Amino acid sequence: MGCRILRIVVALVICFVAGTFAKPANPALNKVLVVLNSLDQQTYFSRFLDSLEKRGFNLTIKAISDNSVSLVTWEELAFNNLLLLADATSGASFTPAKVIDFVNRGGNVLVAASSQVSETIRDIAIELSADFDEKGNSVFDSFNSPVKGKSDIISAKKFTGEHIIIPPTLQGQISRGELPLLFRGVGHRLTGKNPLIIPVLVGNPTSFSYLDSTKGKAAPLTPGSLVGSSLVLISAFQARNNARVVFSGSVDLFKNELAEAIIGDKKTANAQFASELAKWAFQEKGVLKVINTFHHRLLENQQHGSYRIKEELLYEIELSAYYDDVWHPYASSSPIQFTATMLDPYIRQNMTLSSKVTDTTSTYTLPFLTPDVYGVFTFQVEHKRREGYSWIDEKEVVSIHPFRHDEYPRFLSAAFPYYANVFSIMAGFVVLSGVVLYHKDSTTVAKVKTN
């Protein structure tokens, strides 16, 4: 009986521990600030917010007009993630400067707008070179509007690029129309000034952005209007400090209304899509971690801070990728490169995935010959690809020294004549010294003495 109780207690403790260490890659970073137009809008998003809470996030819900909230307190992040669902109104606590500062300090942001997009959201977006269409514009698509009479609710189908933000299976279901993804809101364009922002979901070939009040019926479009794939619906940005920002043109995409809608006899993909988007934005997937780096001489197994020139080394880096709630071994789709630089890169080579794989980590290795130049080198693995994984930038300073005095090869057969010469000359020196000391030549001595 006691044993049983103990078991239950242990099980509960494990559950509790597992619960608290639940979902984000770093479980300590689970504080989310949800910002709404007004607190009573909370019910519109209940499905989405509940799913976040279930995944272990600690939500704080505030209205955007609440001036008592601050993202940063005492120079530290008060929240790790910001969910900005206040599409239409602005507040003094959430000015663009404050949000950008939050991102610079490593905070993640998910911003949702609508055709009532506020200037605040437009200003935040333009900082990261996403240019939302002006207030009053809406995305229309007369050929892909599943709800009759509402051409501003479109079913978005077109994904761009190779990325892990939305899983390929879900992408396939959405683009084939098996699970319609309903989108109602404003479009944006990427100005192209920021290479770190990538489009996730773009307009169908028949989509366009036009004045909301016309219900999409007044033609023609002005030149420079957003149409087709240049009309970005959702884009994702990963800063150099690995903070992530997602811009969604539609706040309704996260609402219960569209998540629960039934199109014909099909459920919508909205709930699943929204949660995948939030998973990426809040570091629940595509998070890479360097477990360990290790470099050693090829025949040794110990790391040193200094190596000789022209020495065979092996560099290893142990990587782990977080998705589906656990750490996995990471196998990159693109090559991971190792670089040894001293002002210029002396070595830049692709590493190979070694057979040393554990449950959670994989190891990339590269055997290489240290350069024939001595000095202070930086061994670096810089892996920055626009596929949604966090950046890796691992640096270590290693000095490379020339041959030590006793490291040169000795007693070479080719050098024997030189050795023989040196020692014979030294013997000759001894003989000459003896001759000079003990030579008896009366005339010479007399002459020297008279001098």
Residues at the contact surface with other proteins, assessed by CB under 8 A: 408-410, 412, 414-415, 417-419, 421-422, 424-426, 428-429, 432-433, 435-437, 439, 441, 443-444, 447-448, 450-451
Question: CA-to-CA distance for 353 and 330, rounded, in angstroms?
Answer: 9
Q: How far is the CB of 399 from other proteins (least distance, A)?
A: 24
Q: How far is the CB of 430 from other proteins (least distance, A)?
A: 10
Question: CA-to-CA distance for 211 and 139, rounded, in angstroms?
Answer: 9
Between 74 and 408, CB nearer to other proteins:
408
Tell me the three state secondary structure of residue 450.
helix
Q: How far is the CB of 443 from other proteins (least distance, A)?
A: 7
302: left (phi over 0), alpha (psi -120 to 50) or beta: beta
Between 333 and 451, CB nearer to other proteins:
451
Tell me the three state secondary structure of residue 181.
strand
Between 301 and 451, CB nearer to other proteins:
451
Residue with tokens 């007369």: 142
Between 169 and 443, CB nearer to other proteins:
443
Distances, alpha carbon 239 to alpha carbons 53, 92, 94, 130, in Å: 26, 24, 19, 14
Q: How far is the CB of 424 from other proteins (least distance, A)?
A: 7
Between 9 and 427, CB nearer to other proteins:
427
Q: Where are the beta strands (DSSP E) in 351-403?
A: 352-353, 362-369, 375-383, 392-401
Cβ contacts of 210 within 8 Å, gap of 6 or more: 137, 138, 140, 216, 218, 221, 225
Q: How far is the CB of 408 from other proteins (least distance, A)?
A: 6
Between 265 and 441, CB nearer to other proteins:
441
Q: How far is the CB of 422 from other proteins (least distance, A)?
A: 5
- How do beta strands 81-84 and 108-112 pair? parallel
